[in-house]
C-alpha cells in the first residue's frame, strides 16, 4: 500500500493505493480526511488505467496524430512556439492553464515560472471562469488577491451558504474533506445551516433552512441584510474593521422591501436571515461559484466578506478566518507577479487583468482579430476551454487559426485535438504531491508530502519535467548554458525552501517523517498582521466597489422571464471525468432541470428533448421536471459535448451530452474582473422538433486541419 492524496477535488482526501492492483481507498491515518473518500475517488485508479490516456507525445500529421519521441515532440513544440514569438513578438504567444493546475506541484511551480516569464500579457486560466471575483474582492477588503478567507466550519454556530453546494462539490476555496460530517457537527452543536440557492440542492435539503433566490441578485440580498443589521443596531464595531459608516450609508436605499421583488425573497425572510446571522456569537457567511458567475460577482463576494466583518465575525474561531499554510502561497504569488489587478488591459476589448491574467472570455477575439499582438501561438495545460469557456464554440472555431498550439494534457479531447503537439504527463498516481494551493484555503491547518505512489516508465514525464524542457526551448539561446542546472530543478527544491521559511518552519524531511500528513491544528487568528490594505484594516467600504452600486441597482430592475444556472454532479468533475465507465454509468446527467410551471407553459414533457437557446445559439438536451428548481430558473451542467470528431474518448463519446458553453455568452461578464457570468443568463426553452437531434455536428471551421 502506498500513501497518496486524491487529486480530483479540493477536499484533497488521503488515500491508500494498492501497489499491485492500483485500487484506491480512504486512508484512516490521514489527519484531515480520516479515512473519508467520496464515490469519485475510483477515478484516480480509472484515470491511471484508462487505455485512452496518452502515454506518448503526439504530433499532428496530415489529418490525424502520430506518436513521437519526447525529443522530437519537444523540439517541434519549441520550434513552432519560438517561430511565432520571433516573427510576431512575445504577446503573440498565449497560455491557458486549467483547473487541475491547482492540484499539481509541477504546474504550480515550474510551469508558473516558465509561463510568467514568457513576457506575454496573454496569460489565461480557468480562474476567470471561476474565482477571480473572490480574488478582486479579497484584494479590496484584505489587501491581496490570495487573502480569500475560509469559513471555520468546525467551530461555527451558524453557516450561511450562498451559491455553493458542498455536499456535491466537496467544497471549494474551503478545503474540508467530509463536509457532510462537518455540517452535521454544526447542527449537533445546536447551530444552524442556511442555504441561499435558486435550486433546492443536496446541501439545501440537508440544511435547516433553504431560501430560493433569483440568480444574479445576491448583491441585493446581502445589501438588504446589511441594511437591516445597521438599522436594528446589530452591527458590532471592531478595531480591525474600517468603513462601517460608509457601508451603512451605502446600504440605506437597499431596504428589504426594495430588494424583495428583485431577489424573489420577501422582506420578512430577508430580515429573518439578517437577525439570525447577527444573533449568534460565531457565525460565518460563505459564498462560492454561484455568486462568482454573476455580472456583479465581485460585489457579491465583497458583500459576503463585509457581512461577516460588520457582525464581528472575523478572525475569531467559528467565523471568517485564514489558513496558515506551511508553505505560504502568497509568497510564491508575489514572486511570479500574481498579486494585484487592473494593471493592464486586453488588446481588443480592453478587459482588465486580475492576478496577471486576462479573462478567458476574450481569448477567442484575441486570436481572431488581426493586428499587432494578435495571438498566434497557444500553450494549454490541464485545461479544456472548448468546453469550459463562455461561448467555447467560438473559441473552438478560432483555435484552427493558430500557427502553433501545444497542449500538455493526458487526453486527446475537445481542446487538445486542435494542438499541433500534445505532451502527456504521467498519471496523478505517478507523481509526487504537495497541496501548495489547497492548504492555503483549508478549514484546518495541515501539511502532507507524497512521493510518487506508483512507478513510471523511463519514457514518462511529469508536468514539471515537461515544462522545464519546454521552457529551455523557449529561452533565448544565450541562456542555454544554464540548461544542465535547469534540468535538475525539481519542484521539491522550491517546496523545501518555502516550507523552511514558512510559518511552521517545516522541511521536506519533516514531512517525509509523517507520510500520512501532519495535523497543524485548528485555524489561528492572523489579523491584523496578514492584512495588506493601506489602513492595515479590513476595508468594508472600498470606494471602487461602492461605486458599482448604481449599476447593481440598474441590473436588479431587469427580470428576464427564464434564466440559466449551472450544477455539478458528485460523480463528475468539470469536463474530464466522463471517460471512466464506473463514474459515468447510471442515469443521463446532461439534462435541463425545469420547474413544473415552466415546463407546462412551454409544453415540455419529462425525458423529452428540448432546445435551449440564447443569442449565441442552441443546444438540445433532455428535460427533467422538478420542483427543486425555483420557477423561472433552469439548470444545466457544463463539461459535456463529447461528440466532437477527432477526439480519443471512448467512454465519454458514448455519453456525449451537449456543451452548455456552446451557448453561454462571452460578452456577459462580471463587470469588475471579466469573470464569466454563466449564471442568470437569459434563455428560451422550447420543445425540440424532430430535426433537433442532439448535436453531432462539430462546427465547420473546428475540425483539425
Ligand X SMILES: Nc1nc2c(c(=O)[nH]1)N[C@H]1C(S)=C(S)[C@@H](COP(=O)(O)OP(=O)(O)OC[C@H]3O[C@@H](n4cnc5c(=O)[nH]c(N)nc54)[C@H](O)[C@@H]3O)O[C@H]1N2
Name the residues that contact ligand SF4, by CB under 6 A.
6, 8-9, 11-13, 37-38, 40-41, 170, 177
**Residue 263 in the binding site for ligand X (CB under 6 A):** no
Cell of 141: 477588503
Q: Which residues contact 242 (CB under 8 A, 6 or more apart)?
A: 535, 537, 538, 539, 540, 541
Residues 422-451 that bind Mo ion (CB under 5 A): none
Which of Mo ion, ligand X, ligand SF4, none does 374 bind, CB closer than 5 to 8 A by kind? Answer: none
**Cβ-based burial of 345 (10 A; exposed 0-12, middle 13-18, buried ≥19):** middle
Q: How far is the CB of 465 from ligand SF4 (least distance, A)?
A: 25
Nearer to ligand SF4, 177 or 262 (CB): 177
The β-bridge relationship of strands 150-151 and 320-321 is: antiparallel
**Residue 213 in the binding site for ligand X (CB under 6 A):** yes
Query: For 84, phi and psi rounded to 5 degrees?
Result: -60, -45
The Cα-based distances of 22 to 454, 577, 623 in angstroms read 8, 18, 38
Task: Tell which residue, 278, 263, 300, has the closest CA to residue 232.
Answer: 278
Q: Which residues contact 37 (CB under 8 A, 6 or more apart)?
A: 6, 13, 15, 24, 25, 26
Nearer to ligand SF4, 37 or 81 (CB): 37
Q: Which residues contact 272 (CB under 8 A, 6 or more apart)?
A: none
Which of ligand SF4, ligand X, Mo ion, none does 163 bind, CB closer than 5 to 8 A by kind? Answer: ligand X
Task: Tell which residue, 175, 148, 401, 391, has the closest CA to residue 291.
Answer: 148
Which of ligand SF4, ligand X, Mo ion, none does 177 bind, CB closer than 5 to 8 A by kind? Answer: ligand SF4
Q: How far is the CB of 388 from Mo ion (least distance, A)?
A: 9
Q: How far is the CB of 41 from ligand SF4 (least distance, A)?
A: 4
Place of cell 494534457: 409
**Residue 628 in the binding site for Mo ion (CB under 5 A):** no
Nearer to ligand SF4, 556 or 583 (CB): 583
Among 27, 218, 295, 643, which residue sits at the site for ligand X (rule: CB under 6 A)? 218
Residues 60-119 that bind ligand X (CB under 6 A): 98-100, 104
**Residue 10 in the binding site for Mo ion (CB under 5 A):** no
Cell of 279: 444573533
Nearer to ligand SF4, 11 or 389 (CB): 11
Q: How far is the CB of 574 from ligand SF4 (least distance, A)?
A: 12
Length of the chain: 705
Residues 391-410 that bind ligand X (CB under 6 A): 408-410
> Cα separation of 653 and 640, whole Å?
10
Pattern 569-608, Mo ion, x by CB under 5 A = ----------------------------------------
> Cα separation of 14 and 5, whole Å?
5
**Residue 591 in the binding site for ligand X (CB under 6 A):** no
CB 409 within 8 A of CB 424: yes
End-to-end Cα spacing for the chain: 46
> Cα separation of 694 and 118, whole Å?
41
Cell of 567: 450544477
**Residue 262 in the binding site for ligand X (CB under 6 A):** no
> Cα separation of 121 and 480, whole Å?
24
Query: For 58, phi and psi rounded to 5 degrees?
Result: -120, 140
> Cα separation of 337 and 118, whole Å?
13
**Residue 366 in the binding site for Mo ion (CB under 5 A):** no
* Number of residues binding to Mo ion, judged by CB under 5 A: 1
Nearer to Mo ion, 17 or 360 (CB): 360
Task: Tell which residue, 213, 219, 350, has the closest CA to residue 297.
Answer: 219
**Residue 567 in the binding site for ligand X (CB under 6 A):** yes
**Residue 665 in the binding site for ligand X (CB under 6 A):** no
Task: Tell which residue, 121, 122, 124, 115, has the closest CA to residue 475.
Answer: 115
Which of Mo ion, ligand SF4, ligand X, none does 37 bind, CB closer than 5 to 8 A by kind? Answer: ligand SF4
Q: Which residues contact 138 (CB under 8 A, 6 or more apart)?
A: 144, 145, 146, 147, 148, 149, 301, 305
Nearer to ligand X, 356 or 425 (CB): 425
Q: Is 517 left (phi over 0), alpha (psi -120 to 50) or beta?
A: left
Neighbours of 205 (CB within 10 A): 11
Which of ligand SF4, ligand X, Mo ion, none does 663 bind, CB closer than 5 to 8 A by kind? Answer: none
Q: Which residues contact 345 (CB under 8 A, 6 or more apart)?
A: 351, 352, 353
Place of cell 478567507: 149
Which of ligand SF4, Mo ion, ligand X, none does 11 bind, CB closer than 5 to 8 A by kind? Answer: ligand SF4
Q: How far is the CB of 37 from ligand SF4 (least distance, A)?
A: 4
Q: How far is the CB of 435 from ligand X (least distance, A)?
A: 13
User: Which of these ranges, 122-130, 255-263, 328-336, 513-521, lies near Mo ion under the rule CB under 5 A?
Assistant: 122-130
Cell of 473: 526551448
**Residue 130 in the binding site for Mo ion (CB under 5 A):** yes
Among 91, 112, 120, 201, which residue sits at the site for ligand X (rule: CB under 6 A)? 201
User: Which of these ranges, 472-480, 484-492, 503-511, 568-576, lies near ligand X under the rule CB under 6 A?
Assistant: 568-576
**Residue 129 in the binding site for ligand X (CB under 6 A):** yes
CB 296 within 8 A of CB 548: yes
Residues 463-522 that bind ligand X (CB under 6 A): 463
Cell of 5: 492524496
Q: How far is the CB of 31 from ligand SF4 (least distance, A)?
A: 14
Which of Mo ion, ligand SF4, ligand X, none does 24 bind, CB closer than 5 to 8 A by kind? Answer: none
Relative orientation angle of helices 218-231 and 267-279, to the nearest 10 degrees: 60
User: Which of these ranges, 208-216, 222-230, 275-283, 615-623, lies near ligand X under the rule CB under 6 A?
Assistant: 208-216
**Residue 152 in the binding site for Mo ion (CB under 5 A):** no
**Residue 616 in the binding site for ligand X (CB under 6 A):** no
Among 4, 145, 196, 299, which residue sits at the site for ligand X (rule: CB under 6 A)? 196
Q: Within 13 Å and on the Cβ side, how many CA atoms surround 436?
A: 30
Nearer to ligand X, 143 or 163 (CB): 163
Chain contacts with Mo ion (rule: CB under 5 A): 130
Chain contacts with ligand X (rule: CB under 6 A): 9, 40, 98-100, 104, 126, 129-130, 162-166, 168-170, 172, 196-199, 201, 213, 215-216, 218, 288-291, 294, 381-385, 388, 408-411, 413, 425, 428, 463, 565-570, 572-576, 638-639, 660-661, 664, 678-680
Amino acid at each position: 500500500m502506498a500513501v497518496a492524496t486524491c487529486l480530483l477535488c479540493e477536499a484533497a482526501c488521503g488515500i491508500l493505493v494498492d501497489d499491485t492492483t492500483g485500487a484506491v481507498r480512504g486512508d484512516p491515518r490521514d489527519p484531515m480526511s480520516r479515512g473519508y473518500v467520496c464515490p469519485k475517488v475510483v477515478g484516480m485508479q480509472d484515470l491511471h488505467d484508462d487505455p485512452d490516456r496518452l502515454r506518448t507525445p503526439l504530433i499532428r500529421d496530415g489529418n490525424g496524430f502520430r506518436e513521437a519521441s519526447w525529443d522530437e515532440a519537444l523540439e517541434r513544440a519549441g520550434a513552432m512556439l519560438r517561430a511565432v514569438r520571433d516573427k510576431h513578438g512575445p504577446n503573440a504567444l498565449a497560455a491557458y492553464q486549467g483547473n487541475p493546475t491547482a492540484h499539481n506541484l509541477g504546474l504550480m511551480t515550474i510551469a508558473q515560472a516558465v509561463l510568467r516569464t514568457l513576457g506575454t500579457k496573454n496569460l489565461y486560466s480557468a480562474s476567470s471562469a471561476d474565482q477571480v471575483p473572490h480574488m478582486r474582492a479579497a484584494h479590496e477588503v484584505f489587501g491581496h488577491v490570495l487573502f480569500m478567507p475560509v469559513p471555520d466550519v468546525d467551530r461555527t454556530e451558524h453557516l450561511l451558504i450562498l451559491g455553493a453546494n458542498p455536499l456535491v462539490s466537496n467544497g471549494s476555496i474551503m478545503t474540508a474533506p467530509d463536509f457532510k460530517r462537518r455540517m452535521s457537527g454544526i447542527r449537533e452543536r445546536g447551530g444552524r445551516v442556511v442555504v441561499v440557492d435558486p435550486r433546492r440542492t443536496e446541501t439545501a435539503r440537508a440544511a435547516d433552512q433553504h431560501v430560493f433566490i433569483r440568480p444574479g441578485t445576491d448583491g441585493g440580498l446581502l445589501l438588504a441584510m446589511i441594511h437591516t443589521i445597521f438599522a436594528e443596531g446589530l452591527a458590532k464595531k471592531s478595531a480591525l474593521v474600517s468603513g462601517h459608516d460608509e457601508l451603512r450609508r451605502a446600504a440605506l436605499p437597499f431596504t428589504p422591501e426594495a430588494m424583495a421583488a428583485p431577489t424573489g425573497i420577501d422582506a420578512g425572510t430577508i430580515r429573518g436571515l439578517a437577525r439570525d446571522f447577527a444573533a449568534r456569537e460565531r457565525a460565518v457567511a460563505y459564498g462560492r461559484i454561484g455568486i462568482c458567475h454573476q455580472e456583479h460577482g465581485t460585489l457579491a463576494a465583497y458583500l459576503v466578506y463585509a457581512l461577516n466583518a460588520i457582525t464581528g465575525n472575523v478572525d475569531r474561531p467559528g467565523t471568517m478566518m485564514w489558513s496558515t499554510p506551511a508553505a505560504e502561497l502568497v509568497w510564491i504569488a508575489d514572486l511570479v507577479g500574481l498579486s494585484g489587478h487592473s494593471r493592464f488591459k486586453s488588446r481588443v476589448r480592453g478587459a482588465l487583468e486580475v492576478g496577471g491574467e486576462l479573462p478567458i472570455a476574450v481569448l477567442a477575439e484575441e486570436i481572431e482579430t488581426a493586428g499587432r499582438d494578435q495571438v498566434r501561438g497557444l500553450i494549454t495545460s490541464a485545461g479544456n476551454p472548448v468546453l469550459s469557456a463562455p461561448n467555447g464554440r467560438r473559441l473552438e472555431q478560432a483555435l484552427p487559426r493558430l500557427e502553433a498550439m501545444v497542449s500538455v494534457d493526458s487526453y486527446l479531447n475537445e481542446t487538445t485535438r486542435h494542438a499541433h503537439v500534445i505532451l502527456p504527463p504521467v498519471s496523478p498516481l505517478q507523481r509526487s504531491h504537495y497541496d501548495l494551493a489547497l492548504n492555503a484555503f483549508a478549514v484546518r491547518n495541515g501539511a502532507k508530502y507524497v512521493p510518487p505512489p506508483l512507478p513510471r516508465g523511463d519514457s514518462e514525464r511529469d508536468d514539471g519535467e515537461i515544462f522545464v524542457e519546454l521552457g529551455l526551448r523557449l529561452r533565448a539561446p544565450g541562456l542555454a548554458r544554464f540548461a544542465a542546472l535547469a534540468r535538475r530543478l525539481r519542484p521539491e527544491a522550491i517546496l523545501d525552501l518555502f516550507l523552511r521559511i514558512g510559518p511552521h518552519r517545516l522541511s521536506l524531511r519533516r514531512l517525509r517523517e509523517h507520510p500520512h500528513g501532519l495535523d497543524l491544528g485548528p485555524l489561528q487568528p492572523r489579523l491584523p498582521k496578514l492584512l495588506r490594505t493601506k489602513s492595515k484594516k479590513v476595508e468594508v467600504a472600498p470606494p471602487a466597489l461602492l461605486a458599482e452600486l448604481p449599476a447593481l441597482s440598474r441590473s436588479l430592475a431587469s427580470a428576464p422571464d427564464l434564466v440559466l444556472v449551472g450544477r455539478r454532479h458528485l460523480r463528475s468533475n468539470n469536463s474530464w471525468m466522463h471517460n471512466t465507465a464506473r463514474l459515468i454509468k447510471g442515469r443521463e446527467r446532461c439534462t435541463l432541470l425545469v420547474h413544473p410551471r415552466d415546463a407546462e407553459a412551454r409544453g415540455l414533457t419529462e425525458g423529452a428533448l428540448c432546445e435551449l437557446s440564447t443569442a449565441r445559439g442552441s443546444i438540445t438536451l433532455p428535460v427533467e421536471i422538478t420542483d427543486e428548481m425555483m420557477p423561472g430558473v433552469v439548470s444545466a451542467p457544463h463539461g459535456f459535448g463529447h461528440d466532437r470528431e477527432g477526439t480519443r474518448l471512448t467512454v465519454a463519446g458514448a455519453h456525449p451530452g451537449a456543451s452548455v458553453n456552446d451557448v453561454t455568452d462571452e460578452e456577459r461578464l462580471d463587470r469588475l474582473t471579466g469573470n464569466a457570468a454563466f449564471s442568470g443568463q437569459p434563455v428560451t426553452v422550447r420543445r425540440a422538433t424532430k430535426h433537433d437531434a442532439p448535436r453531432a455536428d462539430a462546427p465547420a471551421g473546428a475540425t483539425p486541419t
